Amino acid sequence: MQEYIRLGHMELVPAAQINRPGAYLPHHGVFRADNPDKIRVVFNASHKAMNGISLNDTLLPGPKLQADITVVVSNWRYFKVAGTTDVEKMYRQILVHRDNVDCFKAIQAHHFKEEIKALKDKKPISRRSHLARLAPMFGRDDLLRVGGRLQNAQLSYDETHPIILPGECIIVRRLIEYEHREETMHGGAQLMRSQLARQFWITRGERIVQSVCRVCIKCTRYRAVTMEQQMAPLPAVRVTPARAFKSIGLDYAGPVPVLFLRAKKASSSKGYVAIFVCLVTRAVHIEIVSDFTADAFLAAVKGALRSSSRTTVPRSEVRHESSKSCSTKVQHSPSE
């Protein structure tokens, strides 16, 4: 059994997990009379307990680990050695459902061996380790978590001390892909990072998240750029330096309710907002227009000229499709 521990085929149960529900694998040692120094461990998972149920009855059958028979037969034709096996360790090479094991703990034990050993020995973590800046610690569940200084923050335990996971692990990548498809519904890299940060701290996680989004077929289709019409060259007044409001663009907004005071009486009527935009500096001037007539428009233009301290009429193109008389009156009154 000590050899199995040395090979990493089994590990001692932590003291905090001894009282957890579990199953025991019946085993006994067998030795030969002519060679008593070598003991062979025999596992008997079919042995029934007092309740009449064996360990084999409760295990979830996993996928086949053996290669297909056609592949094995073909190997005899193409290779000198068709296959290899280790009968001595065959029973311990099983695939267990992830719901029945502490998956994250197994991942950490495989990728963070030196860091875990240093923490168990109460020694500082090497500065060369990329986990040193995270101040790692063992959490309540004996998982490696981020330390930090957020113990007094109004956050959940997982957000305060997220689980540290290696980004290069294929299982962690599958976890990110699941979050991308099922939890965030292809919501993008930023949403994925926010969702994962509530429970996990994945090393090089930003690069892995970007990679998952980049190879996602649905996200690629959504990111496709639609065809756009090529715009015409900018007019000369837009690219020629000039004084502000020498050339303007005009637009109307509204209608809006306007309160007028006439003969000490207030009355509300429908008005409009005239927006003057300088085509060179992009400055904006706003005037209130009392109604939708040419006279009201000319009054708004005069107000804009007074505000900008101009003495000349700005160059502009006036169009009014709904009132030909209004357009004609404005075009024939530049002196005003």
Is the Cβ–Cβ distance between 129 and 144 less than 8 Å? no
- Give me the domain span that covers residue 162: 99-223
pLDDT tens string 17-59: 777 777 777 888 888 888 777 788 888 888 888 888 887 787 7
**Domain shared by 168 and 112, yes or no:** yes
Same domain (yes/no): 116, 194:
yes
Is residue 211 assigned to a domain?
Answer: yes
Residue indicated by tokens 């109004």: 154
Instruction: Indicate whether 208 and 281 sit together in one domain.
Output: no
Across the strands, what pairs with 262?
A: 265
User: Is residue 292 scored above 70 in pLDDT?
Assistant: yes
Last residue of a domain, one of 31, 47, 81: 81
Domain identity same for 117 and 218: yes
**Are both 218 and 250 inside the same structural domain?**
no
| Same domain assignment for residues 206 and 293 | no
Same domain, 45 and 135: no
pLDDT digits 0-9 by tens, 112-162: 989 988 988 888 888 888 888 888 988 877 888 898 888 888 888 888 889
Q: Return the closest-CA partner of residue 116 out of 100, 139, 92, 149.
A: 139
Quick one: pLDDT at residue 62? Answer: 59
**Residue 144 included in any domain:** yes
Model pTM score: 0.45
Q: Alpha-carbon distance 34 to 312, whole Å? A: 119
The verdict on 118 and 206 lying in the same domain is: yes
113 belongs to a structural domain: yes
Would you say residue 29 lies in a domain? yes
* pLDDT score of 63: 61
pLDDT in tens, 159-191: 888 989 999 989 889 989 988 988 888 888 899
Comparing 13 with 251, which gets the higher pLDDT? 251
Summarize the confidence of residues 243-271 as an average pLDDT. Answer: 79
Specify the DSSP class assigned to residue 9. S
Within 10 angstroms of residue 34's Cβ, the number of other Cβ atoms is: 5
Total number of domains in the chain: 3
* Residues 119 and 195 grouped into a single domain: yes
pLDDT in tens, 52-105: 888 778 776 656 666 777 877 887 887 777 777 655 554 444 444 444 346 888
One domain, residues 242 and 129:
no
Residue 92: inside a domain, yes or no? Answer: no
- Residue 134 CA to residue 44 CA, distance in Å, equals 44
Instruction: Let me know: does 150 contact 135? Beta carbons within 8 Å.
Output: no
Q: Spell out a b/e string for 67-100, using b for 16 or more CB atoms within 10 Å of the CB, else e.
A: eeeeeeeeeeeeeeeeeeeeeeeeeeeeeeeeee
148 plus 193 within the same structural domain: yes
Q: Residue 201 has which token pair?
A: 């701290």
Q: Which residues contact 285 (CB under 8 A, 6 or more apart)?
A: 245, 275, 276, 304, 307, 308
> Over pLDDT 90: what percentage of the chain?
5
Residue where a domain terminates, one of 47, 81, 115:
81
